[in-house]
Copies of this chain bind each other. A is one copy, B any other.
Amino acid sequence: MITITIIGSGNVAYHLAKAISISDELELVQLAMRDIEKAPTFIEKAKIETDFGKLKEVDLYLVAVADNAIEGVIEKIATPTRLIAHTSGTSELLLSAARYRKGVFYPLQTFSKTKDISFAEVPICIETFDKEDLKILKKCAEAISNNVYEISSQQRKVLHVAAVFVNNFVNHLYVQGEKICDENGINFEILKPLIKETAAKIEILHAKDAQTGPAKRGDTTTINQHLNFLKDENQKEIYKIITQSIINNDKKL
């Protein structure tokens, strides 16, 4: 049984706490956060700790706080014997001058408290300096997920950039699609099966083989009609840049 304490009250801390709580191989000893009001109801109150100086000794501390707060939290809880891993996609393994056993435990997924998630499918990227520490992180990650990867800080940064494209930017295109529908009195629901299928295709096709549409066909008549139709400057710019990028991509092949 690996004993774990989580520090944080955001979406990542919430879903990690949930996944660890229900694992037979892991024990969530404490969940630490500054504001007790944010404590999830599925954790017993006795396990919630607001004083970071009073954390019990456990096998692993997971720091799931905002990037700019990680260093401060680590400096409060660091001791030379504690294994402390942060959950950030962008922060370095070597983040603080404080002495502690350093680790990264990055679940590469988009989390919202209002949406349940199957943690078994969440890829977890782990990294440490020490082989024995790596074993602990690995055991912990494998107890809650079937997709565990050893990833260096450099690779993790690349993954984070790619994740911005396929998650943050994709979601913004959904935002624009919904806006276009709303402004023209069309129910966005009609597009949801298309959104679902677009993502599902990637499971069996390379994205470049799944590409369709006016830009791919070089259909300038339709492209110009669409640009004429769009009045919002952001939408127009996005339309132009991505259309051009699709055309350029094909030229390179």
Contact = CB atoms under 8 A, between A and B. Distances in A.
Given A161-B226, A164-B239, A174-B207, 20 more contacts: A67-B219, A90-B225, A109-B193, A110-B198, A110-B212, A115-B200, A123-B190, A123-B191, A125-B190, A159-B186, A164-B226, A165-B238, A167-B213, A169-B173, A170-B170, A172-B211, A175-B211, A195-B202, A196-B200, A199-B199
Interface size of A as a range: 35 or more
A210 interface: yes
A170 B202 CA distance: 11
A242 interface: yes
Q: How many copies does the complex hold?
A: 2
Interface of A: 67, 90, 108-110, 112, 114-115, 117, 121-123, 125, 147, 149, 151, 155, 157-178, 180-181, 184-188, 190-208, 210-216, 219, 222, 225-226, 229-230, 234-235, 237-239, 241-242, 244-246, 248-249
A242 B167 CA distance: 12
B234 A191 contact: no
A75 B136 CA distance: 71
A171 B207 CA distance: 6
A167 B225 CA distance: 18
A168 B207 contact: no
A242 B172 contact: yes
Given A198-B166, A230-B161, A193 B241 contact: no
